[in-house]
């Protein structure tokens, strides 16, 4: 309803009074402030969500106890998430859904009507922050991500009563932050309608055609990840027929698509892994529980495509080094992206700020995000099951007599 009402009203205003004083007054004093307040509420929660989610996700791995299973899972996650992001970013570069931006969009980017961006260039040395608090304040999210991961490893390695209380406190911060994001997203229809009204009133119908091209690129990337990468993974790395894998996973895939939540799908995925795919319970419970928060391949792909699309749309140049920086952030942020609907939006907002891309573009993305969220969650959950197949094969190789492992 938000995208229909906002777009229709904006197109009507563009046709009836494009450039008229009354329309400009409406945009400057009504629509844009409402949209900006919504974006600022969302962006305000980026730092607490990112820090707490990454720390809790890494600390929960219990690195000392997991041994080879944990290392195998982490290695698989990094490699497959990297492939997902590369697929999405190559598709955006080749197809160019955001190219051909109108002069009005370029002027919007030049004026910087969104929240002012932080430093956007990526450097190897800059990964490690001298002061994590200053990094967060300056918008240096790469440094904040590194510190959060490092801090989570520290909590995982130190098992005392004091660190247990610290972890509980950070988990509390995470729960509060996600609750606040849920409250902000309740007013998303109003914010999205205001943002879309502002853009379509100034730009006309052209921007909606580019939005449709963006949706097509995201779906194509997710289809390649699902059909090609996961099929190759379960076949060559897991020793399972892709047909048997997808047939056994279909209930979890349907549940993921309908709920748009990896966390909500977890009970179903566990049952599918043990009863339909015949994976060892010890392996499936660890991999799927960790994967619901960490192995977010579809989300990483979506974030990379979204950032590059909006950069193209607003005429913000991103060179190869910048794109590699975006890729690294998407992979790392996938570890901490919440397994709930729209959980990746704060991460996208953070990356947009880093590279100076106007946050108004989020209004377009939020208008179609529910459907894309359903699609990428399906890829996320399927990826968790594919990872469980791979890890189970390794466990079978180490203990051929392990009960419950299907041959």
pLDDT tens readout for residues 364-373:
787 788 788 8
Q: What is the pLDDT of residue 321?
A: 86
pLDDT of 400 over the 60 cut: no
pTM across the whole model: 0.72
Helix axes 320-336, 46-59, angle to 10 degrees: 60
Residue 72 has pLDDT above 60, yes or no: yes
Instruction: Name the token pair of 404.
Output: 């419950």
The pLDDT confidence band at residue 386, using thresholds 50, 70 and 90, is very high
Judge whether residue 126 has pLDDT over 60: yes
| More confident of the two residues 399 and 59 | 59
Residue pointed to by tokens 């390695």 = 157
Buried b / exposed e over 164-175, threshold 16 CB at 10 Å, is eebbeebbebbe
Q: pLDDT tens digits for 247-281?
A: 999 989 988 887 777 766 877 888 899 889 999 88
pLDDT band per the 50, 70, 90 thresholds, residue 186: confident
pLDDT at 339 > cutoff 70: no
As a dihedral over the C-alpha atoms of residue 190, residue 192, residue 194, residue 200, rounded to 10 degrees, the angle is -150
Q: How large a percentage of the chain has pLDDT more than 90?
A: 23
pLDDT band at 62; cut points 50, 70, 90: low
What is the model's pLDDT at position 399? Answer: 57
pLDDT of 215: 93
- Summarised one tens digit per residue, pLDDT across range 224-248 is 999 999 999 999 999 999 999 999 9
Provide CB contacts within 8 A for 50, sequence distance 6+: 141, 144, 145, 148, 333, 336, 346, 347, 350
* Span 144-157, average pLDDT: 83
Two structure tokens written together for 259: 């709920």
- Burial pattern 240-252, b for ≥16 Cβ within 10 A else e, equals bebeebbebbeeb
Q: Please check whether residue 381 is in contact with residue 225, taking contact to mean a CB–CB distance below 8 angstroms.
A: no
Measured over the CA atoms of residue 5, residue 308, residue 152 and residue 40, the dihedral's sign is negative
Q: What is the mean pLDDT of the chain?
A: 80
Domains identified in the chain and CATH numbers: 2-398 (1.10.3860)
- Does the CA dihedral 252-227-214-115 come out positive or negative? positive
The Cα–Cα gap between 218 and 208 comes to 15
Residue 253 has what pLDDT? Answer: 93
């Amino acid at each position: 309803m938000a995208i229909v009402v906002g777009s229709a009203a904006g197109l009507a205003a563009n046709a009836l009074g494009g450039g008229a004083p009354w329309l400009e007054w409406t945009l400057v004093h009504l629509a844009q402030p409402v949209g900006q307040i919504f974006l600022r509420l969302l962006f305000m929660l980026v730092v607490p969500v990112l820090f707490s989610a990454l720390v809790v996700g890494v600390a929960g791995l219990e690195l000392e106890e997991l041994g080879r299973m944990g290392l195998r899972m982490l290695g698989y996650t990094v490699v497959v998430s990297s492939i997902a992001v590369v697929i999405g970013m190559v598709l955006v570069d080749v197809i160019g859904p955001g190219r051909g931006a109108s002069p009005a969009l370029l002027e919007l980017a030049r004026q910087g009507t969104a929240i002012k961006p932080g430093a956007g260039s990526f450097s190897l040395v800059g990964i490690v922050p001298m002061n994590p608090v200053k990094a967060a304040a300056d918008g240096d999210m790469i440094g904040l991500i590194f510190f959060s991961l490092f801090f989570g490893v520290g909590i995982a390695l130190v098992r005392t009563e004091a660190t247990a209380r610290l972890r509980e406190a950070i988990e509390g911060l995470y729960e509060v932050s996600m609750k606040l994001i849920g409250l902000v997203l309740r007013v998303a229809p109003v914010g999205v309608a205001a943002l879309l009204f502002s853009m379509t009133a100034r730009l006309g119908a052209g921007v909606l055609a580019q939005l449709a091209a963006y949706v097509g690129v995201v779906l194509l990337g997710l289809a390649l990840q699902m059909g090609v990468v996961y099929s190759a993974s379960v076949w060559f790395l897991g020793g399972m027929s892709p047909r048997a894998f997808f047939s056994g996973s279909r209930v979890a895939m349907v549940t993921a698509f309908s709920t748009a939540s990896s966390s909500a799908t977890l009970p179903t995925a566990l049952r599918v892994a043990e009863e339909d795919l015949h994976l060892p319970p010890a392996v499936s419970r660890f991999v799927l529980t960790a994967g619901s928060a960490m192995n977010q391949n579809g989300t990483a792909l979506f974030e990379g495509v979204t950032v590059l699309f909006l950069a193209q749309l607003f005429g913000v140049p991103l060179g190869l080094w910048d794109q590699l920086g975006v890729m690294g952030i998407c992979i790392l942020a996938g570890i901490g992206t919440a397994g709930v609907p729209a959980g990746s939006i704060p991460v996208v907002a953070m990356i947009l700020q880093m590279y100076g891309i106007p946050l108004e573009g989020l209004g377009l993305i939020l208008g179609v995000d529910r459907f894309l969220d359903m699609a990428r969650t399906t890829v996320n959950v399927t990826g968790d099951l594919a990872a469980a197949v791979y890890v189970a094969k390794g466990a079978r190789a180490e203990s051929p007599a392990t009960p419950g492992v299907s041959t």
